[in-house]
């Protein structure tokens, strides 16, 4: 039996929404995008939402809008996808890595506070795997002078103490990449309660121009635009935005299925002393983006090979980011510089988790994993 790491759940019904855009005059950012931004404002209970063509480009637009400059410091977790740190470096800022909590793998307010310097302009907490960092406590720890940019690539549906992303930060940025819980293939969104920031984001999202295409042709007459500052090309076309409205009513049902499958894994691995799982955060509703396990590091790569050999797709989220070549060479980090990210990153495996994964498929993953882990630990 072959079990893929991921199978998307878009159907002919979602494709019809794209066909309707193709049949309309406007292919890029227009009325559909505005409608979707309204849906996101409603869902997250915020006044401003801006669609973007990736989390990555949204983060660039955000850092530009916040006027983050060469030499400025932005705190990021050592355990994340590289994009979180890379965008800070790309605009000339310094990504200041902070190790994560050994149980939850999340940034803690105390660790962030200890890394704040007079040059710190922002922190980018990552809601890793779908559990939220405590943003309210983080704000209390670092005060109002440091901007909080939530990396919500793993957490669209999650909450902490009843609060969704965006409730206590300056901005929350989502990814609609192909494997994310809500997807447009490539895409993302930024949400904020800050009116001044939202105005700036509209500009930095599109070349620093004073008006987007839809406004340039408003009322059928051409309007001149100005360039106010440097910006990126980060707007999401309506062709892709059209995939969001049909997904909104499916969100809760799909999350319930992710939760059910995650609990089946948890039950199956309970009591296995070679397998460690991230600890549940109290008060948190988990978005269940990824199901990750940790095994003894010397068994990780052979186990992944054995899983792949038995037709089971799996991946690694993530290895210790500061020890990847670019950061290691630039800042001279050693594996021991971030011991939690190092240990977790050397032993973690992500297993198939998506609505539509059948119980039979999941049972194959579980049985293969148990068998191969026993075999490898007996022979090591």
Residue 123 touches ligand PLP, criterion: CB under 6 A: no
Q: Of 323-342, which residues contact ligand PLP (CB under 6 A)?
A: none
Residue 198 touches ligand PLP, criterion: CB under 6 A: no
Among 75, 83, 243, 346, binds ligand PLP (CB under 6 A): 83
CA–CA dist 134, 330 (Å, integer): 31
User: What is the 8-class DSSP label of residue 220?
Assistant: G
Select which of 94, 121, 180, 200 is catalytic: 180
Residue 81 touches ligand PLP, criterion: CB under 6 A: yes
For residue 178, the minimal CB distance to ligand PLP (Å) is 8
Residue 205 touches ligand PLP, criterion: CB under 6 A: no
Residue 348 touches ligand PLP, criterion: CB under 6 A: no
Residue 365 touches ligand PLP, criterion: CB under 6 A: no
For residue 79, the minimal CB distance to ligand PLP (Å) is 10
Binding range to ligand PLP, per CB under 6 A, among 149-157, 161-169, 268-276, 280-288: 149-157
Strands 73-77 and 94-98: parallel
Query: What is the SS3 assignment for 345-359?
Result: HHHEEEECCCCCCCH
Residue 269 touches ligand PLP, criterion: CB under 6 A: no
Residue 188 touches ligand PLP, criterion: CB under 6 A: yes
Residue 292 touches ligand PLP, criterion: CB under 6 A: no
Among 29, 56, 235, 337, binds ligand PLP (CB under 6 A): 56
Cβ-in-10-Å burial (0-12, 13-18, 19+) of 225 comes to middle
The SS3 assignment for 10 reads coil
Among 29, 40, 54, 184, binds ligand PLP (CB under 6 A): 54
Q: Are 174 and 153 in contact (CB under 8 A)?
A: yes
Residue 84 touches ligand PLP, criterion: CB under 6 A: yes
Q: How many CA atoms lie within 13 A of 250 on its CB side?
A: 17
Cβ-in-10-Å burial (0-12, 13-18, 19+) of 29 comes to buried
Q: How much of the chain is in helix, strand and coil states, percent to nearest 5?
A: 45, 15, 40
Among 17, 126, 197, 255, binds ligand PLP (CB under 6 A): 126
Please list, in sequence order, all residues whose beta carbon lies within 8 angstroms of the beta carbon of residue 183, skipping any fewer than 6 positions away: 8, 10, 176, 177, 243, 247
For residue 84, the minimal CB distance to ligand PLP (Å) is 5
Residue 62 touches ligand PLP, criterion: CB under 6 A: no
Residue 206 touches ligand PLP, criterion: CB under 6 A: no
Q: Are 4 and 313 in contact (CB under 8 A)?
A: yes
Among 14, 94, 147, 154, binds ligand PLP (CB under 6 A): 154
For residue 158, the minimal CB distance to ligand PLP (Å) is 13
With residue 120 as reference, give the H or E element that holds it.
strand 120-123
The SS3 assignment for 76 reads strand
Residue 177 touches ligand PLP, criterion: CB under 6 A: yes
CA–CA dist 311, 364 (Å, integer): 9
Q: Examine the residue annotation and report whether 279 is marked as an active-site residue of this protein.
A: no
Binding range to ligand PLP, per CB under 6 A, among 97-105, 151-159, 201-209, 356-364: 151-159
Q: Are 72 and 91 in contact (CB under 8 A)?
A: no
Residue 204 touches ligand PLP, criterion: CB under 6 A: no
For residue 225, the minimal CB distance to ligand PLP (Å) is 27
Q: How many CA atoms lie within 13 A of 117 on its CB side?
A: 12
Q: What is the dihedral of CA 126, 132, 138, 144, to 10 degrees?
A: 80
Binding range to ligand PLP, per CB under 6 A, among 147-155, 228-236, 254-262, 327-335: 147-155
Interacting residues toward ligand PLP by CB under 6 A: 54-56, 80-81, 83-84, 126, 151, 153-154, 175, 177, 188
Q: Which residues are catalytic?
A: 180
């Amino acid at each position: 039996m072959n079990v893929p790491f991921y199978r998307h759940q878009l159907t002919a019904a979602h494709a019809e929404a794209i066909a309707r855009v193709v049949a309309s005059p406007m292919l890029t950012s227009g009325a559909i995008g505005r409608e979707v931004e309204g849906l996101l404002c409603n869902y997250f209970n915020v006044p401003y939402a801006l669609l973007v063509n990736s989390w990555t480009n949204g983060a660039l637009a955000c850092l530009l809008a916040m006027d983050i400059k060469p030499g400025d410091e932005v705190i990021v977790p050592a355990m994340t996808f590289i994009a979180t740190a890379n965008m800070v470096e790309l605009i000339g800022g310094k990504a200041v890595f902070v190790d994560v909590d050994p149980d939850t793998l999340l940034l803690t307010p105390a660790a962030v506070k200890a890394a704040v310097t007079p040059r710190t302009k922002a922190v980018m907490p990552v809601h890793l795997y779908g559990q939220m960092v405590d943003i309210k406590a983080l704000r209390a720890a670092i005060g109002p002078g440091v901007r909080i940019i939530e990396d919500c690539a793993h957490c669209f549906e999650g909450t902490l103490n009843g609060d969704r992303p965006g409730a206590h930060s300056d901005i929350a940025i989502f990814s609609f990449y192909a494997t994310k819980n809500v997807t447009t293939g490539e895409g993302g969104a930024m949400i904020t309660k800050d009116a001044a920031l939202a105005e700036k984001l509209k500009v930095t999202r599109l070349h620093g121009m004073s008006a987007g295409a839809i406004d340039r042709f408003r009322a059928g007459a051409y309007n001149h635009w100005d360039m106010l500052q440097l910006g990126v090309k980060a707007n999401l076309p309506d062709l892709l935005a059209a995939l969001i409205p049909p997904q909104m009513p499916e969100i809760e049902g799909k999350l319930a299925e992710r939760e059910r499958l995650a609990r089946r894994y948890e039950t199956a691995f309970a009591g296995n002393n070679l397998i460690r799982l991230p600890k549940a955060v109290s008060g948190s509703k988990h978005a269940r983006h990824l199901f990750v396990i940790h095994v003894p590091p010397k068994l990780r790569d052979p186990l992944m090979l054995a899983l792949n050999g038995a037709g089971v797709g799996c991946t690694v989220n993530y290895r210790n980011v500061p020890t990847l070549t670019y950061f290691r060479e630039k800042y001279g980090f050693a594996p021991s510089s971030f011991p939690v990210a190092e240990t977790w990153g050397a032993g973690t495996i992500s297993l198939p988790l998506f609505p539509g994964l059948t119980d039979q498929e999941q049972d194959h993953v579980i049985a293969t994993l148990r068998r191969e882990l026993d075999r490898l630990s007996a022979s090591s």
